[in-house]
Amino acid sequence: MMVRVALDAMGGDRGPDELVSGAVQAVNEMDIEVILLGDEGLLWKALEKQTRATDRIEVVHAPEVITMDESPVEGVRRKKNSSIVQAFHLHKTGRVGAVVSAGNSGATMTAAIKFLGRLKNISRPGIASVFPTLKGPVVMMDVGANVDCRPQHLFQFGIMAAAFSQVLFGTEKPRIGLLSIGEEGGKGNVVVRKTHEYLQKSSLNFIGNVEGRDTFQGHVDVIVCDGFVGNVCLKLSEGLAEAVVAMLQEEIKKSVMAMTGYLLAKGAFDVLKKRIDYAESGGAPLLGLNGTAIVCHGMSNARAIKNAIRVAAELIKNDVNGHILALLRESNYFEVAGQQNNAVTAGSGS
Amino acid sequence: MMVRVALDAMGGDRGPDELVSGAVQAVNEMDIEVILLGDEGLLWKALEKQTRATDRIEVVHAPEVITMDESPVEGVRRKKNSSIVQAFHLHKTGRVGAVVSAGNSGATMTAAIKFLGRLKNISRPGIASVFPTLKGPVVMMDVGANVDCRPQHLFQFGIMAAAFSQVLFGTEKPRIGLLSIGEEGGKGNVVVRKTHEYLQKSSLNFIGNVEGRDTFQGHVDVIVCDGFVGNVCLKLSEGLAEAVVAMLQEEIKKSVMAMTGYLLAKGAFDVLKKRIDYAESGGAPLLGLNGTAIVCHGMSNARAIKNAIRVAAELIKNDVNGHILALLRESNYFEVAGQQNNAVTAGSGS
Are residue A54 and residue A134 in the same domain, yes or no?
no
**Kindly report the CA angle at B194 between B189 and B195, in degrees rounded to 5?**
95
Question: Is residue B142 reached through a cis peptide bond, with omega within 30 degrees of 0 on the bond before it?
Answer: yes
Q: Contact, A224 vs A205, CB < 8 A? A: no
Instruction: Provide the shortest C-alpha distance from residue A287 to chain B (in Å).
Output: 20
pLDDT at residue B214, rounded to an integer: 85
Instruction: Provide the shortest C-alpha distance from residue A291 to chain B (in Å).
Output: 26
Are residue B189 and residue B225 in the same domain, yes or no?
yes
Nearest to A207 by CA among A234, A231, A180: A180
The overall average pLDDT reported for chain A is 89
Are residue A96 and residue A165 in the same domain, yes or no?
no
Question: Is residue B8 reached through a cis peptide bond, with omega within 30 degrees of 0 on the bond before it?
Answer: no
ipTM over 0.90: no
Spatial distance between the Cα atoms of B221 and B161, rounded to a whole number of angstroms: 9
- What is the β-pairing status of strands B98-101 and B222-224? unpaired
Q: Contact, A283 vs A315, CB < 8 A? A: no
Nearest CA in chain B to A147: B189
Are residue A182 and residue A330 in the same domain, yes or no?
yes
Q: What confidence tens digit (pLDDT) does each residue in A229-245 have?
A: 999 998 888 888 777 77
Task: Determine, for residues A244 and B348 on separate chains, whether the beta-carbon distance falls below 8 Å.
Answer: no
Are residue B102 and residue B219 in the same domain, yes or no?
no
Are residue A163 and residue A190 in the same domain, yes or no?
yes
Q: Is the pLDDT of residue A221 over 70?
A: yes
Contacts of B243 in chain A (CB under 8 A): 133-134, 216-217
In sign, the C-alpha dihedral spanning B65, A181, B148, B133 is positive
pLDDT at residue A274, rounded to an integer: 66
Query: Residue B43: inside a domain, yes or no?
Result: yes
Higher-confidence position of A213 and A329: A329
Contacts of A189 in chain B (CB under 8 A): 147-148, 226, 228, 347
What would the mean pLDDT of B202-219 be, rounded to a whole number?
A: 91
Are residue B69 and residue B177 in the same domain, yes or no?
no
Q: What confidence tens digit (pLDDT) does each residue in B44-68 have?
A: 999 999 988 888 999 999 999 999 8
pLDDT at residue B279, rounded to an integer: 56
Contacts of B246 in chain A (CB under 8 A): 134
Residues 6+ apart with CB under 8 A from A332: A201, A202, A203
Task: Determine, for residues B241 and A244 on separate chains, whether the beta-carbon distance falls below 8 Å.
Answer: yes
Nearest to B174 by CA among B209, B206, B200: B206
How many independent structural domains does chain A possess?
A: 2
Q: What confidence tens digit (pLDDT) does each residue in B73-101 have?
A: 999 999 999 999 999 999 999 999 999 99
Query: Residue A283: inside a domain, yes or no?
Result: no
Task: Determine, for residues A217 and B235 on separate chains, whether the beta-carbon distance falls below 8 Å.
Answer: no
CATH code of the domain covering residue B88: 3.40.718.10
**What is the radius of gyration, based on Cα positions, of chain B?**
21
> Within its chain, how far is the Cα of A203 from the centroid?
25
Q: Is the pLDDT of residue B350 over 50?
A: no
Query: Residue B31: inside a domain, yes or no?
Result: yes
Query: Residue B240: inside a domain, yes or no?
Result: yes
Q: What confidence tens digit (pLDDT) does each residue in B181-192 have?
A: 988 888 999 999
- Which of B251, B253, B276, B277 should we substitute to test contact with A (largest number of A Cβ atoms within 10 Å)? B251
Are residue A75 and residue A194 in the same domain, yes or no?
no
Are residue B169 and residue B268 in the same domain, yes or no?
yes
Q: What confidence tens digit (pLDDT) does each residue in A294-321 have?
A: 999 888 899 999 999 999 999 999 999 9
Residues 6+ apart with CB under 8 A from A261: A252, B260, B261, B262, B263, B264, B265, B266, B268
Are residue B196 and residue B105 in the same domain, yes or no?
no
Side-chain half-sphere of A69: how many Cα atoms within 13 Å? 2
Contacts of B280 in chain A (CB under 8 A): none
pLDDT at residue A56, rounded to an integer: 95
Are residue B146 and residue B227 in the same domain, yes or no?
yes
Higher-confidence position of A64 and B274: A64
Task: Determine, for residues B232 and A252 on separate chains, whether the beta-carbon distance falls below 8 Å.
Answer: no
Instruction: Provide the shortest C-alpha distance from residue A78 to chain B (in Å).
Output: 21
Q: What confidence tens digit (pLDDT) does each residue in B5-36 have?
A: 999 999 888 999 999 999 999 999 999 999 99
User: Any idea which of A40-44, A46-50, A299-303, B346-350 has the lowest mean pLDDT?
Assistant: B346-350
Query: Residue B216: inside a domain, yes or no?
Result: yes
Q: What confidence tens digit (pLDDT) does each residue in A85-114 have?
A: 999 999 999 999 999 999 999 999 999 999
Query: Residue B205: inside a domain, yes or no?
Result: yes
Q: Where would I find the beta strands (DSSP E) of B49-205? A: 57-61, 98-101, 126-131, 138-141, 176-179
Spatial distance between the Cα atoms of A309 and A289, rounded to a whole number of angstroms: 17
The pair phi, psi for residue B157, each rounded to 5°, is: -60, -40
pLDDT at residue A199, rounded to an integer: 97
Of A83, A116, A149, the residue at which a domain comes to its end is A116
Are residue A263 and residue A131 in the same domain, yes or no?
yes
pLDDT at residue B52, rounded to an integer: 87
Q: Is the pLDDT of residue A179 over 50?
A: yes
**Kindly report the CA angle at B184 between B183 and B189, in degrees rounded to 5?**
90
Measured CA distances, A61 to A13, A41, A292, B8 (Å): 20, 8, 21, 71
Banded pLDDT at B272 (limits 50, 70, 90)? low
Q: Contact, B147 vs B228, CB < 8 A? A: yes
Q: Is the pLDDT of residue A344 over 60?
A: no
Query: Residue B345: inside a domain, yes or no?
Result: no
Tell me the residue range of the domain where A23 lies.
3-116
- What is the β-pairing status of strands A126-131 and A222-224? unpaired
Of A84, A116, A148, the residue at which a domain comes to its end is A116
Q: What confidence tens digit (pLDDT) does each residue in B124-175 have?
A: 999 999 988 878 889 999 999 999 999 999 999 999 999 999 999 999 999 9
Residues 6+ apart with CB under 8 A from B186: B193
Query: Residue B288: inside a domain, yes or no?
Result: no
Banded pLDDT at A276 (limits 50, 70, 90)? low
Of A116, A139, A159, the residue at which a domain comes to its end is A116
Q: Contact, B241 vs B164, CB < 8 A? A: no
Q: Contact, A231 vs A295, CB < 8 A? A: no
What would the mean pLDDT of B251-275 be, rounded to a whole number?
A: 70
